[in-house]
């Protein structure tokens, strides 16, 4: 963990300080029936306040580019999740035997439609909580814990829901989310047994499982660079780390979530122009207390940039992805190696003997944010992705909230 962040922000107060943009807003509803109209108004308001000569640099085009990154991040994560889900518990020989020597390659091979796993389910509930917190003026930590208890309800256990008949997260109403997709035991146990979730002061357990980083992407999209006033990277790190602490008590789980959020903030909000290499953005993340995980991520980048190291060898040298820092490292390895080829990155990220859906999801979050929705659509047939409509709507609402 970043020692400065850890010493200054280790309780529920962190959420409110880091998410200062998430304040009461009584003029809008969390379930806006027409998010596209709001996006258009947002672009128009920005355009009226700025004058530019180049059409390529107009506020509208800037807004459209950022919205594409939001959609790409969440859709890309869902694609990686869906492609990796069928092979999550398979050894590599079994993957090659079932899908051929190149492994699983298309969403249609995963199912029709290709189902998402608990990784995308929890990501959607985290994003919905961010939106709900802003629109309703609620505490972010309380909103997240409420959302995860409602997610538990979709897994067949409504005992922790405040009011099963009137859920607060609008996505709970979509019956397609009411499906058990190999949910992680650590998340299940923490949500079932902890009254309010864990904190960094009072860890709920000592787990560093990847059930944290797999759901952390929305926090990297939670605030704009302008609103952050120079503190955006620290803010999104803190939000994601404190979210991780709700269910996982190890500092490596917190740091993994925080660094993923930083990467996404850096490439979507802070420096969206993409006139640099992805590894340059990754190098800016973490802090003085994150030496151990930084060493692992530096190794992932180094392996990615070494042509003599095969995809599978590089992944094996980083781990299997069952714990948070390994999942993030494998995702970064694949994303950096194939930073301009979404399909190649995702296929590399899922075709191994480890936690394929989580490594695929995190890789998809990073490259989807880096390349935008159009690259995700070009690489995979999104018509065959389960809940594509819900994922895009959540992305649009999150964008509009920011």
> What is the per-residue pLDDT across 290-324, written as a single tens digit (0 to 9) for each?
999 999 999 999 999 999 999 999 999 999 999 99
The gap between the terminal CA atoms of the chain, to the nearest Å, is: 26
What integer best gives the mean pLDDT of the chain?
88
CA angle, 200 then 330 then 338, to 5°: 130
Q: What is the pLDDT of residue 346?
A: 98
CATH number for 3-21+63-401 (one of 1.10.4080.10, 3.40.50.720, 3.40.50.150, 1.20.140.10): it is 1.10.4080.10
- Residue 306, both tokens: 């070494």
Domain boundaries, the chain: 3-21+63-401
Q: What is the pLDDT of residue 30?
A: 28
- Greatest CA separation for the chain: 59
The contacts of residue 8 (CB under 8 Å, 6+ apart) are: none
Q: What is the pLDDT of residue 51?
A: 34
Rounded-to-10 torsion of CA 241, 21, 232, 65: 110
- Residue 268, both tokens: 């979507």
- 16 pLDDT band (50/70/90 cuts)? low
**Is residue 203 scored above 90 in pLDDT?**
yes
Is residue 276 within 8 Å of residue 239, measured between CB atoms? no
> In angstroms, rounded to a whole number, what is the distance separating the alpha carbons of residues 145 and 125?
10
**Is residue 1 scored above 70 in pLDDT?**
no
- 219 pLDDT band (50/70/90 cuts)? very high
> What is the per-residue pLDDT across 242-261, written as a single tens digit (0 to 9) for each?
999 999 999 999 999 999 99
> What is the per-residue pLDDT across 355-390, written as a single tens digit (0 to 9) for each?
999 999 999 999 999 999 999 999 999 999 999 999
What is the three-state SS of the chain? CCHHHHHHCCCCHHHHHHCCCCCCCCCCCCCCCCHHHHHHHHHHHHHHHCCCCCHHHCHHHHHHHHHHHHHHHHHHHHHHHHHHHHHCCCCHHHHHHHHCCCCCCCHHHHCCCECCCHHHHHHHHHHHHHHHHHHHCCCHHHHHHHHHHHHHHHCCCCCCCCCCCCCCCHHHHCHHHCCCCCCCHHHHHHHHHCCCCCCCCCCCCCCCECCCHHHCHHHHCCCCHHHHCCCHHHHHHHHHHHHHHCCCCCHHHHHHHHHHHHHHHHHHHHCCCCCCCHHHHHCCCCCCCCHHHHHHHHHHHHHHCCCCCCHHHHHHHHCCCCEHHHHHHHHHHHHHHCCCCHHHHHHHHHCCCCCHHHHHHHHHHHHHHHHCHHHHHHHCCHHHECCHHHHHHHHHHHHHHC
**Is residue 230 scored above 90 in pLDDT?**
no
- 17 pLDDT band (50/70/90 cuts)? low
Count of C-beta atoms within a 10 Å radius of residue 84: 30
Q: What is the pLDDT of residue 5?
A: 36
> What is the per-residue pLDDT across 142-159, written as a single tens digit (0 to 9) for each?
999 999 999 999 999 999
Q: How many residues does the chain have?
A: 402
**Is residue 135 scored above 80 in pLDDT?**
yes
- Residue 275, both tokens: 């006139």
Q: Could you give the count of Cα atoms lying within 13 Å of 250 in the half-sphere of its Cβ?
A: 16
> In angstroms, rounded to a whole number, what is the distance separating the alpha carbons of residues 311 and 334?
8
> What is the per-residue pLDDT across 39-58, written as a single tens digit (0 to 9) for each?
333 333 333 333 333 333 45
Count of C-beta atoms within a 10 Å radius of residue 306: 12
**Is residue 19 scored above 80 in pLDDT?**
no
């Amino acid at each position: 963990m970043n020692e400065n962040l850890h010493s200054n922000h280790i309780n529920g107060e962190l959420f409110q300080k880091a998410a200062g943009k998430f304040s009461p807003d009584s003029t809008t509803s969390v379930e806006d029936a027409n998010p596209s109209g709001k996006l258009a108004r947002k672009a128009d308001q920005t355009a009226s306040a700025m004058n530019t000569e180049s059409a390529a640099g107009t506020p509208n085009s800037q807004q459209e580019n950022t919205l594409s990154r939001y959609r790409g991040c969440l859709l890309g994560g869902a694609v990686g999740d869906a492609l990796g889900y069928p092979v999550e518990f398979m050894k590599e020989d079994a993957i090659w035997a079932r899908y051929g020597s190149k492994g699983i390659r298309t969403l249609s091979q995963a199912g029709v439609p290709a189902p998402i796993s608990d990784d995308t389910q929890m990501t959607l509930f985290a994003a919905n909580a961010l939106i709900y917190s802003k629109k309703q003026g609620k505490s972010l930590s309380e909103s997240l814990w409420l959302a995860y208890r409602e997610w538990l309800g979709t897994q067949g256990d409504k005992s922790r829901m405040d009011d099963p008949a009137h859920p607060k997260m609008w996505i709970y109403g979509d019956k397609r989310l009411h499906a058990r997709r190999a949910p992680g035991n650590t998340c299940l146990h923490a949500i079932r047994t902890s009254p309010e979730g864990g904190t960094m002061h009072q860890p709920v357990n000592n787990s560093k499982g990847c059930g944290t980083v797999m759901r952390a992407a929305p926090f990297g999209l939670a605030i704009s660079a302008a609103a952050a006033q120079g503190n955006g990277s620290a803010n999104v790190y803190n939000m994601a780390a404190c979210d991780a602490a709700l269910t996982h008590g190890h500092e490596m789980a917190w740091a993994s979530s925080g660094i993923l959020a930083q990467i996404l903030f850096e490439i979507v909000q802070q420096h969206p122009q993409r006139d640099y290499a992805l590894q340059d953005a990754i190098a800016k993340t973490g802090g003085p207390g994150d030496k151990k995980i930084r060493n692992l991520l530096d190794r992932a980048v180094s392996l990615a940039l070494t042509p003599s190291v095969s995809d599978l060898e590089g992944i094996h040298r980083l781990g299997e992805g069952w714990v948070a820092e390994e999942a993030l490292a494998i995702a970064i390895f694949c994303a950096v190696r194939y930073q301009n080829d979404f399909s190649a990155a995702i296929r590399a990220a899922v075709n191994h003997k480890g936690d394929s859906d989580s490594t695929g999801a995190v890789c998809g979050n990073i490259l989807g944010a880096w390349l935008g929705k159009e690259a995700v659509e070009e690489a995979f047939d999104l018509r065959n992705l389960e809940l594509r409509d819900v994922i895009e709507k959540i992305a649009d609402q999150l964008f509009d909230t920011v």
